[in-house]
Amino acid sequence: MPRALQDVVFVDGVRTPFGRAGEKGMYAQTRADDLVIKCIRELLRRHPELPKERVEEVAIAATTQIGDQGLTLGRLAGLLSGLPATTPGYSIDRMCAGAMTAVTNVASSIGFGAIDVAIAGGVEHMGRHPMGEGIDPNPRIVAERIVDESALVMGKTAENLHDRFPHITKDRCDAYAVTSQHRLAAAYAAGKVQPDLVPVATRHVERGWGLATVDEPPRPGTTLEELGALKTPFRPHGNVTAGNAAGLNDGATACLLASQTAATELGLPVGMRLVSYGFVGVEPEVMGIGPVPATEKALRQAGLTIDDIGLLELNEAFAVQVIAFLDHFGIADDDERVNPWGGAIATGHPLASSGVRLMTQLARHFEEHPDVRYGLTAMCIGIGMGGCVLWENPHHADYGKES
């Protein structure tokens, strides 16, 4: 029997406040899986109209799948979140785009008609599990020159991107980073960020009990002068610093996706509709360029151009990577359509969780901008990849019509 494809909608998304990795961070002695479980429970709490047995899949990403981030995390997190034993789950690893891939995977299942409702998300506890912990890369990948040795260190790949685009200066990256910090501070002051945050109870042997309610990484008073004085750890006299790159962070995200038919049946809200997505591979030593061809692919599949995109949520792994994207598409560094609430340089980037943060924020932006029909979420991915997902705004007058 021929199978009709279904429209896929993003219903809602939440996240924990993001913390600083390490013993001084607020999640130092909090389990990674408990962070994502908290997010799943919050989604279920916010949507009592959704019977738990209607959730047909749980896909959870982690870059370092070890310890409390391992053992088929999607399945265990689903069970510990109170979902019935009949709800299956699985784990995903596409490094920084883990949660983004969790979304596109379950969305594909929904679009195909295999399921109707799913939860996707990601978690990274970089304090407990530094990126690369316990791995053993095949030495042939460097010895046989399949990749440059620098490809295995993300900060070095960012310096390589500066080499490829020398007009993207350190000063320009620092200015972009300051803007990110200021935009996040303004969004917090306006109360825009807080509704998406799930408070997390924490416990520390020495510091006792606590409650995480806001992001820990932001430095709202950051100045250009302060950033200019920072060291360049990946290269002497380089361009990449702790100030113009995302830090090492802990945190989790989760979102609810459904077919349009199921959303209507159950009375679920629609935050945005999936239009298309694209993942690509690029030279691993300049992995930061990945969002450019990924976005071109997603746009091509949708029959759209960058001029059709009114809002952009770009993951700020490194300022140079975002600026390379903006330059390619002729967008100004300070364009207000890009990361209106700041980005990962300010908020933090707990690797595999970040894709859903981008999507949740884009859905919120759509609510505030019914004049914008299309938006995108995009990010670079370690070992030389890029990902982009295009979305349609349900608040736009032409929503659902043929372009």
Residues classed as catalytic: 96, 349, 380
What's the residue count for the chain? Answer: 403
Spatial separation of the C-alpha atoms in residues 159 and 170, rounded to whole Å: 10
Tokens of 79: 């069970």
Which residue in the block uniquely carries the two structure tokens 């935050």?
A: 271
Contact (CB, 8 A) for 270 and 263: yes
Spatial separation of the C-alpha atoms in residues 354 and 347, rounded to whole Å: 10
Question: What distance, in Å, lies between the first and last C-alpha atoms of the chain?
Answer: 29
> Which residues sit opposite 245 in a β-bridge?
318
Tokens of 155: 């900060």
237: number of Cβ within 10 Å: 6
Tokens of 310: 């009114």
- 3-class SS of residue 146: coil
- What secondary structure does DSSP assign to 153-192, as a single string? SHHHHHHHHHHH-TTS-HHHHHHHHHHHHHHHHHHHHTT-
Spatial separation of the C-alpha atoms in residues 358 and 217, rounded to whole Å: 17
Residue 17: DSSP 8-state: P
Tokens of 193: 């960020």
